[in-house]
Amino acid sequence: MSPLRNRYDIIFFFDVKGGNPNGDPVAGNAPRSDAITHQGLVSDVALKRRIRNYTSEARAGQDRYHIYVHDRAGDASRRGRPSVRPDAHHDSRLQQPVLPDIETLTRFFCDNFFDVRTFGAVIDTTFGTSHVRGPVQVGIATSLEPIETTKVAENARREVVPYALYRTHLFVNAKLAERTGFDETDLDHLLGALKRLFDYDAAAGREEMASRRLIAFKHRSALGNASAESLFARVKVRRKSGDTLYDLPLLNVPALPPARQFGDYEISVDRDNLSEQLEILDIL
């Protein structure tokens, strides 16, 4: 295991076609959207849930890749809400700590559960409560343009998004990684999960979702060599219509037909005058 020594700022694009990427339970499970801008939203909780689900499939039974927080089964009102494994430290498959004080148990959970050492967790045990701050922060995904929804004919209560491209940001803190044991192998797994995030996620209402672009800014240092904001500004998305490109948001331009495929957008990365302390990784 190689310790993580570099900070990473990551941009992730994914799209949905004829589906509901993240239903809002307070709005009848309609696709989430911003009440002001009407841009579509996918919560950080939903994205982390998919990373956990992918890990459960891709690393099933492997040491260090157990999952601590899982989805609740049961009725629709509870489905998708996170729940912890109260029996996790009694799992006979795991090497249990001797003299389990809270510090030893915290290390036990970080060593054995990928999601704990990645995203952090609040762990309640009979020995006390441990607050683990994870090195990976996941942002809320926002669609590039306002979404429209349509009701599916065979079920008027089911609403879907005809098409939308979403963008979200992830942040990997190398200093926090030192504390939880999140290492280079874990980072490779995380990036692999994002590339294939929807392979194991198909379900009624979200059959056609796909990872589209994954761009990482690798800093030479653990603390970082530039602000994430300045780096993210280097990645620009424009709408395509024929041979013409339009900046987003679309202002003072002729009405364009709604986007219906990934090819209706162009994603570009500005590599000019990049510091030697930084590297751009085109992962997908």
Q: Is residue 226 a part of any domain in this protein?
A: yes
Q: What is the pTM of this model?
A: 0.88
Sort residue 82 into left (φ over 0), alpha (ψ -120 to 50) or beta.
Answer: beta
- 237 found inside a domain: yes
Closest by alpha carbon to 226, among 218, 237, 215? 218
Neighbours of 162 (CB within 10 A): 15
Q: Are 157 and 23 in contact (CB under 8 A)?
A: no
**What are 224-272's pLDDT values in tens digits?**
999 999 999 999 999 998 889 999 988 877 788 899 999 999 999 999 9
**Count of helix runs (H) and strand runs (E) in the chain:** 6, 17
Note the pLDDT of residue 110: 93
> SS3 of 162, please?
strand
Q: Is the separation of the CB atoms in 278 and 217 below 8 Å?
A: yes
Write down the pLDDT at residue 158. Answer: 83
Instruction: Rounding to the nearest 10 degrees, give the CA dihedral for residues 137, 4, 132, 102.
Output: 170
Would you give per-residue pLDDT tens digits along the chain (284 residues)? 788 999 999 999 999 999 999 999 888 889 999 999 999 999 999 999 999 999 999 998 899 999 998 764 433 333 333 455 555 555 555 665 555 677 888 888 999 999 999 999 988 776 677 889 999 999 999 999 999 888 876 656 788 999 999 999 999 999 999 999 999 999 999 999 999 999 877 665 666 899 999 999 999 999 999 999 999 999 999 999 888 999 998 887 778 889 999 999 999 999 999 999 999 999 99
Q: Range of 202's domain?
A: 8-43+53-61+133-282
The answer to whether position 79 is within a domain reads no
Tokens describing residue 269: 């990365």
Residue 206: per-residue pLDDT: 66
For residue 109, give the DSSP letter.
Answer: H
Q: Examine residue 126 and state whether it is found in any structural domain, yes or no.
A: no
Which tokens sit at 50? Answer: 């998919």
- Could you give the C-alpha distances from 249 to 5, 16, 56, 106, 237, in angstroms and in order? 37, 19, 38, 46, 10
Among 44, 76, 31, which residue's Cα sits nearest to residue 206?
31
pLDDT value, residue 81: 39
Closest CA to 140 of 43, 214, 225: 43
User: Is residue 243 situated within a structural domain?
Assistant: yes
* 238 falls within a domain: yes
Q: Classify residue 103: in a domain, yes or no.
A: no
Total of domains in the chain: 1
* CA atoms lying within 13 Å on the CB side of residue 76: 6
Strand 23-24 relative to strand 209-219: parallel, antiparallel, unpaired?
Answer: unpaired
DSSP code string of 28-41: TTEEPB-TTT-EEE
In a domain, 249, yes or no: yes
